[in-house]
Structure 1
Amino acid sequence: MSLRPDLAIIAANVQPVTRVLDVGCGDGALMAALRDQRGCDARGLELDPADVSAAMARGLSVVQGDADSDLADYPDASFDYAILSQTLQTTRRPDWVLDQLLRIGRRAFVSFPNFAHWRARTSLLFGGRMPVTRLLPIAWYATPNIHHVTVDDFRALVKAREITVEECWFLSGDQHTGSGFANLFAEHAVFLLRKDR
């Protein structure tokens, strides 16, 4: 089973034999890859009970919980990596969640859809409606997305919080794209972050 492109980037860049917390782990696909291919001790936190069951059926250590409240229960620096993939925009306080990730993990991977992608802009400009795309496939009234983050918004947030960006990757479709005009041309972004303690 192949991983979603942002998850494949994360899996390829997590150091082997490390401790990982995957927040919003879904059915555990990334955790299973990290365990099986990188020898990682992967743990998960997931809100959806069906996904928790699916991840546990893979033999993974997953607890049901909410990133908006339950991250506070984890001790400082208890993981090498904390991962939040396609979940940041669904949280009530993305800034607080980001702070918690970097408190819990020595490094954090964060991936999110870029709401400033040219297709989203075009949909609003010419159609006057919130976009429905391959990466944003749910209509505005049913989407779990409550914060419409852009690449530039995220860059400003990490700068304001004095967070170091170690690496970043940008995807257009399933292909890598450059960082120069990522706010316009990237559909999806992946950041590897560090907060100097």
Structure 2
Amino acid sequence: MNKLRPDLQIIADNISPKARVLDIGCGDGALMAALRDQKQVDARGLEIEPANVASAVSKGLSVVQGDADTDLSAYPDGSFDYAILSQTLQTTHRPNAILEELLRIGKQAFVSFPNFAHWRVRMSLLVGGRMPVTRLLPQTWYDTPNIHHVTIDDFRALVRDANLTQQGEWFLSGDKQTSRAMANLLAEHAVFLLRR
């Protein structure tokens, strides 16, 4: 079995066995396969890239091609225990509306994203004066799918403004978890668990 990306491993570790899960922007289905095989989760996926859909389906996963910005309204209210959006929020047109949809569809929602306030990103802008290219943000500014440059503090404010409850938060520096202390500056990646 392939090792999961660190943010996906955090999500997998915190999902209850036999839960119903919708993974939005599921990529090739790595998280779904791990949840199915290790926790007997009923996992469904929504993915925009046809090659990723084909890869996930070839693993025996239930994945359909679709776009988070337009296709979430087709899912009934409360139809999943968890809705997952990993490394996708910053690519959506209306992140606040996506959060509402996640928590309409799922009882709880996991959201993970790269932190655009990480010190390396800040230094790249300060010293080089150009948008950074990093391990978690590997594309140049004109070739990136990221249209919203979200920070941990921005996301916390969005959660607060939307009157959502934050049930858990995890931060990664490199591939290792780091503390909450100064997470907006020191964490490269964040994972949040939300509910209404």
- Which residue does the alignment assign to 1:46? 47
- Which residue does the alignment assign to 2:112? 111
- Which residue does the alignment assign to 1:80? 81
Q: Secondary structure at the match of 1:84?
A: strand
Amino acid at match of 2:117: A
In percent, how many aligned pairs have the same letter?
71
1:102-157 deviation per Cα after TM superposition (whole angstroms, max 9, x unaligned): 00000000000000000000000000000000000110000000000000000000
Q: Secondary structure at the match of 1:191?
A: strand
- Which residue does the alignment assign to 2:91? 90
2-structure distance, mates of 1:44, 1:82: 10
- Which residue does the alignment assign to 2:10? 9
1-structure distance, mates of 2:43, 2:115: 27
List runs of 5+ in structure 1 lacking aligned partners: none
Counterparts in 2 of 1:22-61, with a 5 A limit? 22-61=23-62
1-structure distance, mates of 2:182, 2:100: 27
- CA offset at residue 40 of structure 1? 0.2
Q: Secondary structure at the match of 2:52?
A: helix
For the aligned residue pairs, the C-alpha RMSD in angstroms reads 0.4
- Which residue does the alignment assign to 1:153? 154
2-structure distance, mates of 1:113, 1:43: 24
Amino acid at match of 1:36: D
Count of aligned pairs: 195
Q: Secondary structure at the match of 2:127?
A: helix
2-structure distance, mates of 1:186, 1:125: 18
List runs of 5+ in structure 2 lacking aligned partners: none
TM-score (norm 1): 0.99
